[in-house]
Amino acid sequence: MIRILLADDHALFRQGLKSLLEAEGDFKVIGEAKDGREALRHALEAKPDVILMDIQMPGLDGVQATQEILKEWPQARVIILTMYRQDAYVFEAVKAGARGYLLKDTDAKELIEAIRRVAAGEVLLDAELAGQIIQDFKAKKEQAPGVHAELSEREVQILRLVAQGYTNLEIAAELSLSEKTVRNRLSEIFQKLHLNNRTQAALYAIREGLAEPPQEE
pLDDT confidence of residue 144: 47
Best CA proximity match to 53, nearest among 2, 93, 12, 110: 93
CATH fold of 143-207, please? Arc Repressor Mutant, subunit A (1.10.10)
Q: Compute the C-alpha angle 195/7/190, nearest 5°.
A: 10
Domain boundaries for CATH 3.40.50.2300 within the chain = 2-124
From the number of C-beta atoms within 10 Å of its C-beta (0-12, 13-18, 19+), residue 139 rates as exposed
The C-alpha R_g of the chain, in whole angstroms, comes to 17
**Strand 100-103 to strand 50-54: parallel, antiparallel, or no bridges (unpaired)?**
unpaired
**Rounded Cα gap, residues 65 and 216, in angstroms:** 29
Question: Mind listing the pLDDT tens digit for each residue in 43-67?
Answer: 999 999 999 999 989 889 999 999 9
**Rounded Cα gap, residues 162 and 152, in angstroms:** 15
pLDDT confidence of residue 196: 79
**Strand 100-103 to strand 78-82: parallel, antiparallel, or no bridges (unpaired)?**
parallel
CATH assignment, 2-124: 3.40.50.2300
Question: Mind listing the pLDDT tens digit for each residue in 18-47?
Answer: 999 999 999 999 999 999 999 999 999 999
H or E stretch covering 52: strand 50-54
Domain boundaries for CATH 1.10.10.10 within the chain = 143-207
- Mean pLDDT (the chain) is 85
**Is a pLDDT exceeding 70 seen at residue 133?**
no
**Rounded Cα gap, residues 28 and 22, in angstroms:** 6
User: Which distant-in-sequence residues (6+ apart) come within 8 Å of 45 by Cβ?
Assistant: none
pLDDT band at 204 (very low <50, low <70, confident <90, very high): confident
Q: Amino acid identity of 77?
A: R
